[in-house]
Structure 1
Amino acid sequence: MKIYCLAMSFLLSLLVTSVYAADVGSVKSVEGEAWIVRGTEQIPAQKGMRLQVSDRLKTGPNGAMGLFLRDDTIISMGSAGEMVLVEFVFQPRTNELGMLTRFLKGSFTYVSGIMARLNPESVKIETPVSMVSIRGTHFLVNVKG
């Protein structure tokens, strides 16, 4: 019985770690129309919603959305924007760091978090025509769609 309890505790801790690892951050603010596209489902974005790797975030013609990622990165999307959270690994204790975000169209502001300070090369921002390497802490980009 003791071995069974230990095995179950171990399996539960793995499950909690997996769920936590999939958690990228959250929606900090929403104005107008904004959505999270997860798989084939388009979900109206609401303040406090949790974000996951592979989420596609979209704003309508009068929409805006603010995101707060687990490493304290802040991303703001303007109207008619679209982006994808392609990759996000933030485990500083084991030095596993990596972020890849694609800004597909619209205006964005980006303020880097802890990951960019620990290892700037681990953070990548792509647009349809370029890739941004993080060397500073703040930038604004407008992607024509």
Structure 2
Amino acid sequence: MFVRTITALATYFILTLLGSFAGPAEAQVNAAPPAIQDAAKLIGKVVSATGAVTIEHANAVVIEAKASGSTKVGDPVYVGDVIRTGVDGRIGINFADGTTFNLSTNARMVLDEFVYDPGGNSNSTLFSLTRGTFTFVAGKVAKTGDMKVDTPVATMGIRGTTPHVAISDDGSVKFSTLIEEGRKKTEAPATREPRQNATRKFDLNICRGC
């Protein structure tokens, strides 16, 4: 009788102990990792797309497995995305602050940084253009913060202009400003060779090593 009582108590104790660990373990399995919850920040969307265009998300396995395939109007873009156009590709993107970008054929752009608070004054963006032709109109970040566009030869600080940037295969870059309302002509294009160590100022608030 005594032995049976001891055995029953031991069994009850073991089952109770196992049950106390089951709850936290199950909760830990079901909880979504913070990396997935905060995987990316939506910053804009595609408003036009023709030909071969791809958007590679920084964490595609988590956000949306779209490392390749057909990009279409309405597709989202996130911080860290890489935008590519093919030999017949073109894409237009509108960002949350009103900035618009148009990429022509054989272009590549990386959305490195985008911080925008409609009521803030510490907004910032950094987009890297590595190949192709780009035309863009600066939005509110350029007026209330720090908008920069990096190219193989320099980093441009944008202050409300409408730049046209053409990056050739050899790394040289041509800058110009599109005709704006009330102006008679564009600014003369400026050509820069691939980036060197020297520091020089240039039109459109361009600086090196920003």
Identity among equivalent pairs (%): 31
In structure 2, runs of 5+ residues without a counterpart are 1-33, 59-65, 170-210
> Within 5 Å, which residues of 2 pair with 1:48-59?
48-59=74-85
SS in 1 for 2:72: coil
Q: Distance in 2 between matches of 1:63 and 1:41?
A: 16
1:31 to 29, 43, 50: 50
**Matched residue SS, 2:116:** strand
State the TM-score, normalized to the length of structure 1: 0.80
| 1:22 aligned partner | 41
- Contact 2:47/2:92 (<8 A) preserved: yes
From 145, 150, 158, give the equivalent of 1:126: 150
User: Displacement of 1:91 after TM fit?
Assistant: 1.0
The DSSP-based 3-state class of the residue aligned with 2:92 is: strand
Counterpart of 1:93 in structure 2 is: 119
Q: Which runs of 5+ in 1 are unaligned?
A: 1-14
Distance 1:104 1:33, change over 3 A: same
Q: In proportion to residue count, which structure has more strand? A: 1
User: Contact between 2:139 and 2:160, CA under 8 Å: does it hold in 1?
Assistant: no
SS of residue matched to 1:115? helix
2:103 is the alignment partner of 1:84: no
**2:198 corresponding residue in structure 1:** none
CA contact (8 A) 2:120 2:144 kept: no
Distance of 1:118 and 1:106 partners within structure 2: 28
Matched, 1:139 2:178: no
Q: Please tell me whether Structure 1 or Structure 2 has the larger radius of gyration of its CA atoms.
A: 2
Alignment correspondent of 2:99:
73
What is the alpha-carbon distance in structure 1 between the residues aligned to residue 168 and residue 57 of structure 2? 24
User: What secondary structure sits across from 2:132 in the alignment?
Assistant: strand
Counterpart CA distance in 2 for 1:94 and 1:123 is 14
Quote how far apart the aligned CAs of 1:92 are.
Answer: 2.9
93 and 43 in structure 1: CA distance in 2 versus 1, 3 angstrom threshold: farther
Q: Which residue of 1 aligns with 2:192?
A: none
Hey, what's the Cα distance between the residues in 2 that align with 1:112 and 1:41?
28
> Number of residue pairs matched?
126
Question: Are the aligned partners of 1:37 and 1:43 in contact in 2 as well (CA < 8 Å)?
Answer: no
Contact 1:64 1:76 in 2 (8 A): yes
Q: TM-score, normalised by structure 2?
A: 0.56
